[in-house]
Amino acid sequence: MPANANWARWIHASVGKYLKTVAATIPVPVLVEGIDDRDDTFMESEDRVEIRVNGPFTKELSAGYHRLYVDVNVLVNSMMGGATKSAYTLDEILGVFHNAMDGAIAIYRFGTGPEDDADSLLGCITPRPGKNDFIRVLHFGQLNTTDRLKQGMVDARYVMYLNE
């Protein structure tokens, strides 16, 4: 049985919605890559978050039983503020997302099609258990000598098994 054509959309929408909710608690402007626009307000914000969801990467392990891998990246941009802003703002934002991404994320059937029902849980993506599969916090530092913009990222790899 082939992969369900809706899996990518359901995963992308569910992860995006979950991480947007996390961003609202800080609060920091957020966009989901490929879904939201980079408007002037977003681009001019001192701190902002971009969410990327890659996958699912699927493999049918046996008849109708699939393993799905999903990679999620949260890119954080933070302007340096000298004495008027904490030097650890980037780390604080990264920490909130690191905490939020270090566990299961529920995947719902978001959409308006015949198989969609936002109240129905498809399953959960969970951090991959392999010895080299970490929830990683990466620091890219200041991008150049003139802009006072620093970047960092939380990178996570997930797995989900579906029997459909």
Q: Within a domain: residue 1?
A: no
Q: Within a domain: residue 108?
A: yes
Beta strands in 80-116 (DSSP E): 105-109
- For 38, the domain range is 7-163
Instruction: List the beta bridge partners of residue 159.
Output: 69, 126
Convert the pLDDT of each residue in 89-138 to its tens digit.
999 999 999 999 999 999 999 988 889 998 899 999 999 998 888 999 99
The β-bridge relationship of strands 30-32 and 47-62 is parallel
Q: Within a domain: residue 2?
A: no
Convert the pLDDT of each residue in 9-59 to its tens digit.
999 999 999 999 999 999 999 999 999 999 999 999 999 999 999 999 999
pTM for the whole thing?
0.93
For the domain that residue 28 is a member of, what is the CATH number? 3.30.2000.10
pLDDT confidence of residue 81: 79
Overall domain count for the chain: 1
Q: Is the dihedral of CA 30, 36, 41, 42 positive or negative?
A: positive
